[in-house]
Amino acid sequence: MTTKHMLEARGLCKTFGDNEALVDLNLTVEQGEVVCLLGANGAGKTTTINLFLGFLKPDRGSAFVTNIDVVKEPVEARKHIAYLPESVALYPKLTGIENIAFFDKLTGAERSETELAVLLRDAGLPESAHGRRTSTYSKGMRQKVGIAIAMARNSRVLLLDEPLSGLDPSAANDLGQSICRLRDQGCSVLMATHDIFRAKEIGNRIGIMMAGRLVQVLDANALDAKEIEHIYLEHLHGPTEQREEARVA
């Protein structure tokens, strides 16, 4: 019997010209699990997310969403996914409640304003902001609306591409708590991030990516942030002893 993972990459590869953006990625995300992909720009994090979304086609290997092959059945696969990019695109002349109502209608749900307000509050957006145009929102507030829109879709899988980038510590903490609430409700999350501390706080597992390769997967509960940082830096620069020798030389 085939195991049903919420997300699965099998030998996933993608090149752009001479650049190997992703090399033989094998990765799974289970129900109610947050997996954080930790790495610098160009490590392959965004390429991985775009392959799961079907925005890119792999050169080799396969990407699956709830056992649905993304290349063979892209429309069906996307029904189970919500996506939050680094900067959420909202209609600036509409209020927060009007934005979520618009996106809710696209799914055919058409919840009441009261129900939508609950989603915005659960995502951490203060009620005083619901009636303001989103052109007045900070980035953190826009991200919260994005989370609420994802919650409205009742998506089983959430893909996040650097959602914490550019947020102040308070906004990042609020967004992290919203992601954890979705996880606790059974949502599966794959998040690309540079932020070691938030990856530790939010993630169940942390995948370290370097130059298109998944070089190690860590149990976030078994390590503190300092230990994760140490492992990450060793992959980035080599063992401490080698770095010291290079510095002296």
What pLDDT does 239 receive? 65
Are 106 and 177 part of one and the same domain?
no
Are 71 and 171 part of one and the same domain?
yes
- Region 203-230: mean pLDDT is 96
Are 113 and 198 part of one and the same domain?
no
Helix (H/G/I), strand (E/B), else coil: 121: helix
Range of the domain at 117: 87-154
More confident residue, 124 or 67: 67
**Percentage with pLDDT > 90 across the chain:** 67
Measured in degrees and rounded to the nearest 5, phi and psi for residue 193 equal: -155, 155
- Region 206-213: mean pLDDT is 96
Are 66 and 101 part of one and the same domain?
no
- Region 162-180: mean pLDDT is 86
Are 123 and 233 part of one and the same domain?
no
Helix (H/G/I), strand (E/B), else coil: 205: strand
More confident residue, 230 or 155: 230
Please indicate, yes or no, whether the overall pTM of this predicted structure exceeds 0.75. yes
Neighbours of 109 (CB within 10 A): 14
What pLDDT does 122 receive? 85
- Total structural domains in the chain? 2
Are 68 and 187 part of one and the same domain?
yes
Q: What is the 3-state secondary structure (H, E, C) of 149-196?
A: HHHHCCCCEEEEECCCCCCCHHHHHHHHHHHHHHHHCCCEEEEEECCH
Are 147 and 161 part of one and the same domain?
no
Are 58 and 134 part of one and the same domain?
no
Are 180 and 146 part of one and the same domain?
no
- Region 97-108: mean pLDDT is 90
> Considering 109, 130, 154, which residue would you say is the last residue of a domain?
154
Lowest mean pLDDT among 3-7, 54-58, 119-123: 3-7
* Average model confidence (pLDDT) across the chain: 90
Are 168 and 224 part of one and the same domain?
yes
pLDDT band at 167 (very low <50, low <70, confident <90, very high): confident
Q: Which residues sit opposite 27 in a β-bridge? A: 9
- Region 191-212: mean pLDDT is 94
Q: Are strands 213-219 and 205-210 parallel, antiparallel or unpaired?
A: antiparallel
What pLDDT does 95 receive? 97
